[in-house]
């Protein structure tokens, strides 16, 4: 095991394979002594950039947590018989291939957390190296928020069903880089640690984050001739980082998971009502015009997204190559998913029938279809959506007082060009109705399994669940977990 005086510099190289026995330890290929790396403000910035690069690896949010493994759990893609992908959709967690896929996610989430803890373990003691106003607060806030984001997804994936927390795994909430195993804690203890990180992250940047003062367009174009001219462009492009509003978005998700409906609504409402200085919405719901402009991922909705240089290549391989596909006729997507509305902008714009090299036809989503070399930054849509404003509308629709929830529901459905329906008065039926939209809205974003698990949705409400599947939301912690 490497000495803790070294941490991974994944900005310059990828992590080497992490031993199953060392999930909470980073073993890097390229190393730099901490006293050198953290001797300058630039070193802290590089280390945090490295953590973002870890997040968007294919084994995490670059594919597994958004488009592949998490979507196989909800049978979003056609699969071949007797494959790991099929067994994931059958919830066969004892299968070696399934174990390996889920174990990889667990390991990589904690590897990101370890990198963040390396930064957080040094930042207060070395606060004097920061010379740019607000940089210390920003970097520390982003580290805390990212640590919470990763822990929260570990909890959602491997933790208990939140409506029945007496059954299910206990998990470690890791706040220090250490060679010693970290103790597993109760659901409530995990909740408190998560909310503490988010509260501290929020307090650090609430009054200084440029995203609260400038529009997304202005943040995208920093210059001496622009309204937005930061002393350090590291403070630009805040929508690609865990900014103040992203923290509120994680809080909205977390409070919803913990069934604190009032606070979930409070956070979602703050984001929906966030305004630019000219009174326009900070984050607006996407429209058919965005899709006409080939912004299928609806970047105007992104409260937090990850920029993926490889999105074009991934789309070419996984979607155009027919690896991630669903159905061979319009029935599967148009009828089963969208209800054959004939108007839904997702139904009309996000899917296409392609012919593969073997002449077979299949439907693929265009959500991640991008131009390889866009002509300008405004036309560069290579963003993996991590938190979107549409999710905040759906959270508000579910948990706000009924009349207010109905108004958010109507606004959301209007943006998708579908007729407004009346939300049920019964809380569970209301949740089930909203989750139907989650299924449509976050296809290929890895959110549907969490939506179903949160309310312990029965199989009858689990769209595309195989007839042979026995629904099971309780995923075992990997057998080789280092904290056992």
A 10 A CB-CB count for 45 gives: 18
- State yes or no: pLDDT of 1 exceeds 70: no
d(CA 455, CA 475): 16
Residue 8 — very low, low, confident or very high, per pLDDT cuts 50/70/90? very low
> Which domains are seen in the chain, by residue range?
6-312+369-461 (1.25.40.390)
DSSP for residue 376: S
E-state strands within 103-202: none
Q: How many CA atoms lie within 13 A of 38 on its CB side?
A: 23
Q: What is the mean pLDDT of residues 25-52?
A: 76
Q: What is the mean pLDDT of residues 445-450?
A: 98
pLDDT given at position 180: 83
Residue 24 — very low, low, confident or very high, per pLDDT cuts 50/70/90? very low
Sign of CA dihedral 67, 252, 234, 50: negative
Per cent of the chain over pLDDT 90 is: 86
d(CA 339, CA 145): 37
Q: What is the mean pLDDT of residues 235-239?
A: 96
CA 431 to mean position of chain CA atoms: 21
d(CA 20, CA 42): 32
Q: What is the mean pLDDT of residues 215-239?
A: 92
Residue 22 — very low, low, confident or very high, per pLDDT cuts 50/70/90? very low
Which residues are CB-neighbours of 9 under 8 A, at least 6 positions away? 28, 30, 31, 32, 37, 46, 47, 50
DSSP for residue 461: G
CB 154 within 8 A of CB 110: yes
Give the model confidence (pLDDT) of 425-445 as tens digits: 999 999 999 999 999 999 999
User: What pTM was computed for the model?
Assistant: 0.93
244-257 and 135-158 helices, crossing angle to 10°: 20
Q: What is the mean pLDDT of residues 33-37?
A: 76
pLDDT given at position 258: 98
CA 467 to mean position of chain CA atoms: 29
- Provide the mean pLDDT of the chain: 92
Q: Which of 373-382, 404-413, 442-451 has the lowest mean pLDDT?
A: 373-382
Closest CA to 475 of 104, 147, 175: 104
Residue 385 — very low, low, confident or very high, per pLDDT cuts 50/70/90? very high
- State yes or no: pLDDT of 315 exceeds 90: yes
Q: Which two tokens stand for residue 232?
A: 């350090």
Q: What is the mean pLDDT of residues 2-29?
A: 35
Residue 481 — very low, low, confident or very high, per pLDDT cuts 50/70/90? low
Helix (H) or strand (E) holding 355: strand 351-355
d(CA 245, CA 252): 10
Q: Which two tokens stand for residue 395?
A: 């959270």
Closest CA to 34 of 1, 12, 3: 3
pLDDT given at position 88: 98
């Amino acid at each position: 095991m490497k000495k803790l005086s070294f941490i991974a510099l994944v900005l310059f190289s990828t992590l080497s394979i992490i031993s199953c026995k060392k999930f909470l330890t980073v073993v890097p290929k390229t190393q730099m002594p901490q006293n050198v790396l953290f001797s300058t403000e630039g070193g802290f910035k590089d280390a945090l950039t490295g953590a973002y690069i870890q997040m968007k690896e294919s084994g995490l949010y670059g594919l597994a947590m958004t488009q592949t493994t998490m979507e196989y759990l909800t049978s979003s893609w056609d699969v071949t018989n007797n494959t790991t992908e099929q067994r994931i959709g059958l919830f066969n967690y004892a299968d070696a291939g399934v174990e390996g896929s889920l174990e990889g996610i667990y390991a990589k989430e904690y590897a990101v957390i370890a990198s963040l803890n390396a930064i957080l373990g040094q930042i207060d003691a070395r606060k004097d190296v920061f010379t740019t106003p607000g940089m210390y607060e920003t970097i520390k806030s982003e580290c805390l928020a990212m640590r919470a984001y990763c822990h929260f997804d570990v909890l959602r994936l491997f933790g208990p069903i939140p409506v029945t927390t007496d059954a299910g795994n206990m998990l470690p909430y890791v706040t220090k880089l250490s060679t010693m195993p970290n103790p597993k804690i109760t659901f409530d203890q995990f909740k408190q640690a998560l909310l503490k990180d988010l509260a501290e992250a929020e307090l650090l940047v609430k009054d200084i984050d440029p995203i609260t003062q400038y529009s997304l367009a202005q943040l995208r174009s920093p210059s001496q001739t622009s309204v937005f001219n930061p002393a350090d462009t590291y403070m630009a492009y805040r929508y690609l980082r865990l900014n103040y509003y992203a923290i509120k978005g994680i809080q909205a998700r977390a409070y919803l998971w913990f069934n604190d409906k009032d606070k979930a609504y409070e956070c979602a409402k703050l984001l929906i009502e966030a305004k630019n200085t000219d009174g326009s919405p900070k984050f607006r719901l996407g429209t058919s015009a965005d899709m006409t402009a080939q912004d299928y991922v609806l970047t105007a909705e992104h409260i937090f997204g990850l920029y993926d240089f490889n999105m074009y290549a991934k789309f070419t391989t996984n979607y155009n190559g027919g690896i991630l596909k669903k159905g061979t006729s319009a029935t599967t997507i148009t009828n089963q998913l969208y209800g054959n509305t004939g108007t839904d902008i997702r139904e009309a714009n996000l899917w296409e029938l392609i012919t593969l090299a073997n002449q077979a036809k299949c439907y693929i989503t265009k959500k991640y279809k991008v131009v390889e070399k866009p002509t300008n930054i405004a036309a560069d849509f290579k963003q993996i959506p991590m938190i979107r404003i549409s999710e905040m509308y759906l959270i508000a629709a579910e948990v706000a007082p009924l009349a207010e929830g109905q108004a958010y529901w109507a606004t959301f459905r209007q943006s998708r060009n579908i007729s407004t329906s009346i939300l049920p008065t019964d809380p569970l039926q209301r949740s089930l109705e909203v989750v139907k939209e989650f299924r449509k809205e976050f296809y290929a974003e890895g959110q549907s399994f969490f939506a179903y698990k949160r309310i312990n949705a029965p199989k009858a409400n689990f769209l595309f669940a195989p007839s042979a599947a026995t629904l099971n939301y309780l995923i075992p912690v990997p057998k080789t977990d280092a904290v056992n």
